[in-house]
């Protein structure tokens, strides 16, 4: 493509993302949750883009939009491109949907050219976990882990996942048919970084090497409530003061370990009165790192520090684990091919760990998976101010086309195709 054509295609990608952002459950802002009414509009719009390519769009029983671009020969294996179409409340226009829209643009840029493998696009029905508090409903269907227990989960209106599927006109009994067959040799996901790292480095793209493991815990510091005006400082059992000391320790530890992030995101003090010393403080802790060993060691350290702080202040500390998600490595071969493709655009290749979870971590359970991050201006995501730069989208399209060429010529891919 010429420079002008590349710019026009990138501008169209951005316009399409912004168009999809208008399909919302809210009159102001974007909110599109699992199989809500605006999801039908989203599906219809994407189907219109694919119609000129002769690609029919179908929905599987989990509500995932799927479309297949044929290979040069019949019965050839497939490469999967995708991301999610649902959003958080008050969302931006690019998280998730950009990966689907870029995949459509890549197929358009092929102008009918057939590769040694087929390409399938998937727009996942759910990744964020907003409606049911359970994330990755869409991608779990493709790997066969969308089970009966998930189908029983209810939203705030007491509608179950199963009922939501039925209300959308789909048949939950057909969910096993959504599972990927053995003829898929890889999954690629374009996604905005959702953070400031690439902007700080002055880089447009990155190859994701792994998706960080995550631990979530709840801590409780138990002291003794008492009158704020009559209790001397040395006779207090202040649960908030203990929590504050521990929060500082959390930050210090995270700053001292490269790649570690730790967040106390929620604090609740009881009884919560201005003139009462808090006898109880509940806090949440979120710890993430690309290495499970480092993450687990950090959690153990922070638990020990909570005990020590509580003991020194004559309080008690309790904790429980809410989530323990292992780190997921991306496929080394696909990562190296993405880095090669980035270099061909003229940008410096860069590898990084994703601190956020993505559908790629679910797909990696079944097939080789990899991700390409685009720079996020200001590091802003999950907010209407979320944006992308048109020149970065241009480079993403160019990177994707180089990647397809490389995979088509790759001996390793030919071997994977033969094994499949």
DSSP letters, 43-57, are: HHHHHHHHGGGT---
CA atoms within 13 A on the CB side of 369: 21
| Per-residue pLDDT at 408 exceeds 90 | yes
Place of tokens 């209790």: 231
- How do strand 184-192 and strand 78-84 relate by DSSP bridges? parallel
* Ranges assigned E (strand) in 93-245: 118-124, 184-192, 205-211, 213-222, 226-227
State residue 274's pLDDT score.
96
Angstrom distance (rounded) from CA 98 to CA 79: 18
Angstrom distance (rounded) from CA 16 to CA 13: 5
Q: How many helices (H) and strands (E) does the chain have?
A: 13, 16
Return the structure tokens found at 69: 């671009």
Angstrom distance (rounded) from CA 21 to CA 388: 14
DSSP state, 265? -
| Per-residue pLDDT at 382 exceeds 80 | yes
pLDDT by residue (tens digit) across 207-221?
Answer: 999 999 999 999 999
% residues pLDDT > 70 (the chain): 99
- Packing angle between helix 97-109 and helix 3-20, nearest 10 degrees? 140
Find how far residue 220's CA is from the centre of its chain. Answer: 29
Contacts of 266 (CB under 8 A, 6+ apart): 282, 283, 284
State residue 420's pLDDT score.
57
| Per-residue pLDDT at 397 exceeds 90 | yes
For 213-325, CATH gives: 3.30.70.360
What are the structural domain ranges in the chain?
Answer: 3-211+327-419, 213-325
pLDDT by residue (tens digit) across 41-86?
Answer: 999 999 999 999 999 899 999 999 999 999 988 888 999 999 999 9
Of 12, 106, 15, 78, the residue nearest 398 (C-alpha):
106
Domain 3-211+327-419 adopts which CATH fold?
Aminopeptidase (3.40.630)
Angstrom distance (rounded) from CA 281 to CA 206: 40
Summarize the confidence of residues 373-381 as an average pLDDT: 97
Are 78 and 115 within 8 A, CB to CB?
A: no
Find the largest Cα–Cα distance for the chain.
Answer: 84
């Amino acid at each position: 493509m010429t420079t002008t054509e590349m710019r026009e295609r990138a501008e169209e990608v951005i316009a399409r993302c912004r168009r999809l952002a208008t399909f919302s459950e809210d009159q102001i802002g974007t909110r599109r949750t699992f199989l809500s009414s605006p999801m039908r509009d989203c599906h219809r719009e994407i189907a219109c883009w694919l119609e000129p390519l002769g690609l029919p769009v179908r929905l599987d029983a989990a509500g995932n939009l799927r479309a297949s671009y044929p290979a040069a020969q019949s019965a050839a294996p497939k490469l999967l491109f995708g991301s999610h179409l649902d959003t958080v409340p008050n969302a931006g226009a690019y998280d998730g949907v950009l990966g689907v829209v870029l995949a459509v643009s890549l197929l358009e840029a092929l102008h009918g050219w057939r590769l040694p493998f087929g390409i399938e696009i998937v727009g996942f029905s759910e990744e964020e976990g907003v409606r049911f508090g359970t994330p990755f409903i869409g991608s779990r269907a493709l790997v066969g882990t969308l089970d009966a227990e998930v189908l029983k989960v209810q939203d705030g209106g007491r509608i179950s996942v199963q009922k939501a599927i039925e209300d959308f006109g789909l048949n939950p009994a057909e969910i096993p048919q959504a599972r990927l067959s053995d003829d898929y040799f890889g999954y690629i996901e374009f996604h905005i970084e959702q953070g400031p790292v690439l902007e700080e480095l002055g880089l447009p793209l990155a190859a994701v090497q792994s998706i960080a493991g995550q631990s979530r815990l709840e801590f409780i510091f138990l002291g003794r409530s008492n009158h704020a005006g009559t209790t001397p400082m040395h006779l207090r059992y202040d649960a908030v003061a203990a929590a504050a000391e521990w929060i500082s320790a959390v930050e210090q530890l995270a700053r001292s370990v490269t790649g570690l992030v730790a967040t106390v995101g929620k604090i609740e003090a009881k009884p919560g009165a201005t003139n009462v010393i808090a006898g109880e403080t509940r806090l949440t802790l979120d710890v993430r790192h690309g290495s499970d060993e480092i993450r687990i060691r950090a959690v153990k350290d922070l638990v020990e520090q909570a005990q020590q702080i509580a003991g020194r202040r004559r309080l008690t500390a309790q904790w429980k684990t809410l989530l323990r998600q292992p780190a997921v490595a991306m496929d080394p071969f696909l990562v190296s091919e993405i880095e090669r493709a980035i270099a061909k655009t003229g940008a410096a290749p860069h590898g990084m760990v994703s601190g956020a979870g993505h559908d790629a971590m679910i797909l990696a359970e079944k097939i080789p998976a990899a991700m390409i991050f685009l720079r996020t201006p200001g590091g802003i995501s999950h907010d209407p101010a979320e944006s992308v730069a048109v020149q970065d989208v241009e480079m993403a399209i160019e990177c994707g086309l180089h990647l397809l060429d490389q995979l088509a010529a790759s001996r390793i891919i030919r071997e994977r195709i033969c094994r499949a």
